[in-house]
Structure formats: C-alpha cells, structure tokens
Amino acid sequence: MSTPTPRGRLLVVDDEVELMRALCESLTDEGFEARGLSDPAAAPDAIRNGEFDVLLSDLMMPGTDGIQLLRQALTIDPNVVGIIMTGQGTIQTAVEAMKAGAFDYILKPFRLQQVLPVLDRAMEVRRLRTEVVRLRRVLEKLTYESDRYRIVGHSPAIRKVVQMIERVAPTDATVLVRGPSGTGKELVARAVHGNSQRRDKPLVTVNCATLQESLLESELFGHEKGAFTGADRAKAGLFEVAEGGTLFVDEVAEMAPALQAKLLRVLEDGHFRRVGSTQEKHADVRVVAATNKPLEDEVKASRFREDLFFRLNVISVTLPPLKDRREDVPELIAHFLHTRQVGRGLMRVDPAAMAVLCGYDWPGNVRELANVLERAQILAEGDTVTVDDLPENLVHVSKPVPVAGVTAPVVSPDDLDAVERRHVEDVLRRHSGNKVQAAKALGVSRRTLYRLVEKYRLNEAPSA
C-alpha cells in the first residue's frame, strides 16, 4: 500500500520544546510532514539539506529571532513560505515580519483550527512560487528578437499561452491566435516564429482590415505586369517574400470570401497564383493567423468559410483581456518603463498610482497600458509616476487594489483608522489643504475625501 502524499513539508522552529512537539504531532495528524527544532541555529542547515514548503517559526528565541531566521531561510530557498508565531504582537513587529518576507503572522496562544487555513493558503503560495520558477525556466528557453517583444506575466492564463507556444513553435502547424484587440496577438506570432526552425527566415505581417479586397489579394499573392490599372511591373506577394519563414495574417476575419478560398488552397497544398497569371507557384510558408472576433459566430453568419476556420484552428492560442490577468499589471508596468523610456532615465510608479493601475479594467488591454505609461512618463515632474500623472477618466473609474503578492499584516480596526487618518492628513498637508488635488492623490472622489475629513475631524486643515 502506497504512502499518501503529505499536504506539505513543514519546519517548525520554537525554543519551547513541549509546544513545538505538540504542534508537530497535531500537524502530522492533519496530514502534514512536520519536523521540529528547538534550536534556531540548526534551522539553516535543515533548510539546506531538506526541501521544506513552509517555515513556521517563533519570533523571540535565544540567540536570534524569527525575522532574522526567515531572512536566512529565504536566502537559502527563496520559495519557502514563512509564517511567524509570537505572543507579543505589535504593529511594528507585524510590519517588520512582512517586510522580511513573511506570508502571515500568528498570535499565540492559538488553536490548531486557526492555523490550518493559514497553512493551506501558504501551500498554495508555495505551489505558485514553484510554478513561477518552472515557468521562468520555460521563458528562458524561449528566445525573442528583442526585450521589447517579450511575453510578460506569470498569471495562470499567460502560463497557458507560454506553454502552448513552447509546444507548438518547433512544429510547422498552423496557429490561430485569438483575443481582444491590444492583448498582444502579434507578440505570440513573433514568439512562435522566433522559436521555430524557421527563425532564420522572414517573419512577414499583413493586416487584412487595412486593405481593400483587390489590394489585399495583390499584397498576399503578388501580381503580373498589366494585371490591373497601375500594375506597370510585376510584384512578388507576401507568400513569396516569406518563403521558408512565417506569414502572420492579422484580423483574418476581415478577409473577403473570395480571398478566403485562395488562402485555404495555400494552406491545403501550398499552391497559389499571382493576380493576372496562369502559372502556379508553390509556397513553403507557415501561417499564423489572428482575430479578435469569435470565428464560430462568423461561420454561422456565413461571413467566414467553415473549412478555412477548421484549417486555421489546428492549434488555437487564446489571449485573455488584461482585466482577467490583473496580477500581471505590475510586471507589465516594470517592463514598459524599462523598454519604452521617454527621454529621461528609468522611472518608477508610486504605490497609490500602482493601486489605481491595478484596479482599472483596461478596455484597450496591454496596448492601452503601454500608452498610459508613455503619457505618464511625459507628464511626471520627477522620476516617479503618481496618480496626478494618470488620465482623470482612468482614475475616476478605477477601483484601486493592493499590488498582487503583497500581504498586509492583520491589525485591529482602531489601528487601521489611525493609519488612514495619518495618511489623509499627510496628503492634505502635501497639497496645502487643496481637497481637489488631495482627492486625486488619494485616488478617491471629493465626496469621499470630505467624508474622511469629517470622520477624523480634519476640518482645521486649510480648505481649497
């Protein structure tokens, strides 16, 4: 009979031996593999020699403390998840623990049933950290023509996209990239081509929505001299230009039915004719197509050929809207600030602006985010982008959220009120009491600011 897989491997460090042993026994009964140490000095070697998912450490111990131990542990294994236990809970120690990288903070005495949900969440964080490491290895295998055209993010949706690219790129299969405008469909095409056997041959792009039917046909298949008015010389089409490489057909749903039939034939047997020619040519070209429309609906409406849809949809890669991968926004911001600097050196985004950017729904997706950051860099007075540098309509409709991956310590409502009061007071002071500017900086409406002023009796502050 096989041994069941443990819920997780835990290292419990506490100089109170009886408590440590009792906790290890209880956690073992709950399905965890728990090892206990009463000497914190032995913990670093234990972490080096054994792969632990979670470090559960007491705060105050002889010779060291849990925060110092956690810092050592994260140096040895950056993916270990730290939880601090203490009987002397203060806001200062909670903040110090979180700054050191702790996932959570548990006050003694506690019941086992209070700890188990925290451990389950910690195991999920451990799983995600391990998956991120694995994905980074995959991303390192993928090559890009430049850092500007990298696929950025570690959300589950983007992990699926990267995994699909990794599998399909080495093949010659036709790929259909689907997703709303601005999600990065051309980046997928570039990644597929750049990691294929065709990477040394051309990657050629055509957008079906920007050309009339006759022009698009000539662009794709070329034309002979005299084929139509103005054709004073023969011209090779993109299928010829892309010989041996990849042709990216963007907005393929906008292609006219007659051209759809010709594209289908090229995909089926590689043959095509230039406009005005009777001679057949053969193309050795891989096609990556993209659309922001649901092609199934286009087929039902008789606007898109069903046989072409089946031929294009050999491999489908779906890009999600940015609002469905909000956890990638901070990483995307860092990427754009690095690759699209405007005039000055590298800039940063302050926490309030970051919260607003993470809380916006981004109807224009990644393209809109890149444009907003370009504008913000131009308007910023120093080396930091603030809420004041963001478009007003964005700030008004955004629902600010904390940056993904940052866990705040658990504090009482009174403590939260004190922090909020100080923050509102500081912002009002920075803006000389101007409530319009202060509301913008806080990322709240003027009505909300007036309510906060009344709540904390800040009316003595100078008015706008």
Query: Which option is the CATH number for 9-132: 3.40.605.10, 3.40.50.1240, 3.40.50.720, 3.40.50.2300?
Result: 3.40.50.2300
Does the pTM of the predicted model rise above 0.75?
Answer: no
- Measured between alpha carbons, how far is 2 from 306 in angstroms, rounded to an integer? 51
Is the pLDDT higher at 135 or at 304? 304
Among 65, 10, 74, 21, CA closest to 40: 65
pLDDT tens digit sequence for 381-393: 888 899 989 999 8
pLDDT at 105 over 70: yes
Average pLDDT of the chain? 85
Return the CATH fold of 413-455: Arc Repressor Mutant, subunit A (1.10.10)
What is the residue whose two structure tokens read 């728990």? 34
- Is the pLDDT assigned to residue 447 strictly greater than 60? yes
Whether 413 shows a pLDDT value over 60: the answer reads no
DSSP states of 28-61: HHTT-EEEEES-GGGHHHHHHHS--SEEEEESEE
Q: Please choose, from the candidates 5, 8, 130, 125, the residue with its C-alpha nearest in 3D space to the C-alpha of residue 77.
A: 130
Taking residues 225-251, report their average pLDDT.
89
What distance in Å separates the CA atoms of residue 97 and residue 70, rounded to the nearest whole number?
9
Lowest mean pLDDT among 89-93, 179-183, 320-324: 89-93
Q: Which residue has the tokens 């039902």?
A: 300
Burial label for 266, CB within 10 Å (0-12, 13-18, 19+), is buried
Check pLDDT > 80 for residue 183.
Answer: yes
* Rg of the chain on CA atoms, in Å: 29
Does 160 or 3 have the greater pLDDT score? Answer: 160
pLDDT bin (cut points 50, 70, 90) of residue 463 is very low
Q: Where is pLDDT greater, at 133 or 121?
A: 121
Predicted confidence band of residue 459 (pLDDT cuts 50, 70, 90): low
Contact 84, 106 (CB under 8 A): yes
CA-to-CA dists, residue 81 to 21, 86, 232, angstroms? 21, 17, 70
The Cα 208–Cα 212 span in angstroms is 8
Tell me if 153-318 shares its fold with 322-397.
no
Q: 142 with 191: CB under 8 angstroms? A: yes
Rounded Cα distance, 439 and 451, in Å: 11
Q: Report the candidate in 139, 81, 129, 132 with the shortest Cα–Cα distance to residue 105.
A: 81
Return the C-alpha torsion angle 75, 81, 84, 90, nearest 10: 90
Q: What percent of the chain has pLDDT over 90?
A: 46
- Listed in sequence order, the residues at least 6 apart from 303 whose beta carbon sits closer than 8 Å to its beta carbon are 253, 257
Amino acid type, 11:
L
| Cβ 101 vs Cβ 74: under 8 Å | yes
Pairing of strands 64-65, 60-61: antiparallel
Burial 177-202 (b: 16+ CB within 10 A, else e): bbbbebbbbbbbbbbbbbbbebeebb
Mean pLDDT across the stretch 30-57? Answer: 91
Least confident of 123-127, 188-192, 297-301: 123-127
Higher pLDDT, 139 or 148: 148
Domain 153-318 is classified in which CATH homologous superfamily?
Answer: P-loop containing nucleotide triphosphate hydrolases (3.40.50.300)
Domain boundaries, the chain: 9-132, 153-318, 322-397, 413-455
Q: Which two three-digit tokens encode residue 59?
A: 């705060």
Q: What is the DSSP string of 386-418?
A: -GGGS-HHHHHH----PPTT--PPP--HHHHHH
What tokens does 118 get?
A: 């925290």
The whole-number pLDDT of residue 461 equals: 41
What's the CATH fold of domain 322-397?
Answer: Helicase, Ruva Protein; domain 3 (1.10.8)
